Amino acid sequence: MSLPVRSAVLQSPAYPFTPIDAPTKLDQNESPYDFPEALKKLALERVMGLAWNRYPDLNAESVRRAVARFEGWDEAGVVVTTGSNVLIGLITELAGMGRRVLTVKPSFSLYALEAQLLEGQLCEVPLNADFSLPFQALKRELERGEGVFYLAQPQAPTGRLDPQEQVLELLAAAGERWIFVIDEAYHQYSGSDYRAIVRNRANVLSLRTFSKAWGLAGLRAGYALTSPELAREIQKLVPPFGFSALHSAALEVALERPEFVLERVGETTFERERIFSSLQNHSTWTVYPSGTNFLLIRTPDLEAAYKGLLERGILVRKQGGYHALKGCLRVSVGTPDQNTAFIAAALELG
């Protein structure tokens, strides 16, 4: 039986993820720590005080105000949705349908998936062998077209942070013809910050998420920082009343008391470097530098490495199906004990 569904949807793959249970879960770049218990209790108290029979804010206004205060941003330039991945779909719908959607490969798979689903003209420019930006090729693409350009900083899944000077030159090449998206999902771990560059450019935006450093992946929340003009157009595509009052209460508590994030980021970056240093002399594995909460590792036999870790109770993410990542796996930074277990297993498998 054939379905009356657009061919672009029928021909597109589903998001590539299959959940697997394991004692040590290091496969999804989550924070290994839950939201602080004291803040959970405060959020639940606020939730209990809400009228659940009433619709929430039309456009998540209370959370937008809280994000604007936290980021030092004009509230009119903030868009909040249930995950920054939702914003990727909305931005592609806004400016990529029937037009060009430009990114690099490998990169976050959702950029390409949304382009395919929405029938954008996808162009993926391969990264250089060292995972640096294909700078001149990207400039040529930006100078001759228009649409949406997605650039993760730091990159995923490689973990690399590119020189800001290159990003500025790409912005100049894009001019006003492109919606230029800087995906900063991991910026806390790299210490990078593109707000000053985004602030005075109407067609540029920063994507940020509560799923990583904030430890709130289960709430599904992310936001864009951009110009009021661009935010107004994106907001037209966000379903009304789409952000629940329950989520809003928790996020407002987090944004009022963000100190815990800095402490956790400090521990995660320390642990990331400990793993990196410990694997430098691995007999067969190559670990790449990272500005995120994960590390990309190349192995001579991906299946053997993956199964060997899983047999030892450690779940990581296979990346070998992506361009130029043959043999690669990705491991999230966990707790110190989890990281010690991973290091021991990795060295044993060598």
- Residue 105's DSSP bridge partners are 126
Q: What is the mean pLDDT of residues 43-61?
A: 96
Q: Determine the distance from the C-alpha atom of residue 31 to the mean position of all C-alpha atoms in its chain, rounded to a whole number.
A: 13
Q: Which of the four pLDDT bands, split at 50, 70 and 90, describes residue 15?
A: confident
- Give me 111's structure tokens: 């950029």
Is the CB of residue 63 less than 8 Å from the CB of residue 80?
A: yes
DSSP state letters, 323-342 = TT-TTEEEEE---HHHHHHH
pLDDT beyond 80 at 1 = no
Distances (CA, A) of 117 to 124, 181, 222, 337: 15, 19, 21, 41
Residue 71 main-chain phi, psi, to 5 deg: -90, -5
DSSP state letters, 106-159 = SS-HHHHHHHHHTT-EEEEEEPPTTS---HHHHHHHHHT--EEEEEESS-TTT-
**Quick one: which of 242, 251, 250, 210 has its CA closest to 56?**
242
**Rounded Cα distance, 208 and 81, in Å:** 11
Is the pTM here over 0.85, yes or no? yes
Distances (CA, A) of 56 to 52, 175, 216: 9, 38, 20
DSSP state letters, 207-276 = EEESSSTTS-GGG--EEEE--HHHHHHHHTTSPTT-S-HHHHHHHHHHHH-THHHHHHHHHHHHHHHHHH
Which is more confidently placed, 331 or 144? 331
pLDDT beyond 80 at 220 = yes
**Rounded Cα distance, 82 and 91, in Å:** 14
- Each residue's pLDDT tens digit, 110-147: 999 999 999 999 999 999 999 999 999 999 999 998 99
pLDDT beyond 80 at 245 = yes
Q: Which of the four pLDDT bands, split at 50, 70 and 90, describes residue 35?
A: very high
- Residue 317's DSSP bridge partners are 330
Q: What is the mean pLDDT of residues 46-54?
A: 95
Q: What percent of the chain has pLDDT over 70?
A: 100
Q: Report which secondary-structure segment, H or E, holds 101.
A: strand 100-105
Q: In the chain, helix, strand, coil percent, each to 5?
A: 40, 15, 40
pLDDT at res. 17: 82
Q: Which long-range contacts (CB under 8 A, 24 or more apart) does 334-338 make?
A: 334/24, 334/25, 334/26, 334/32, 334/271, 335/32, 335/33, 336/267, 336/271, 338/24, 338/26, 338/32, 338/314
pLDDT beyond 90 at 18 = no
Q: What is the mean pLDDT of residues 85-111?
A: 97
In the three-class reduction of DSSP (H, G, I as helix; E, B as strand; rest coil), residue 14 is classed as coil
Q: Which of the four pLDDT bands, split at 50, 70 and 90, describes residue 303?
A: very high
Domains of the chain: 37-256 (3.40.640.10), 260-349 (3.90.1150.10)
Q: What is the mean pLDDT of residues 61-83?
A: 98
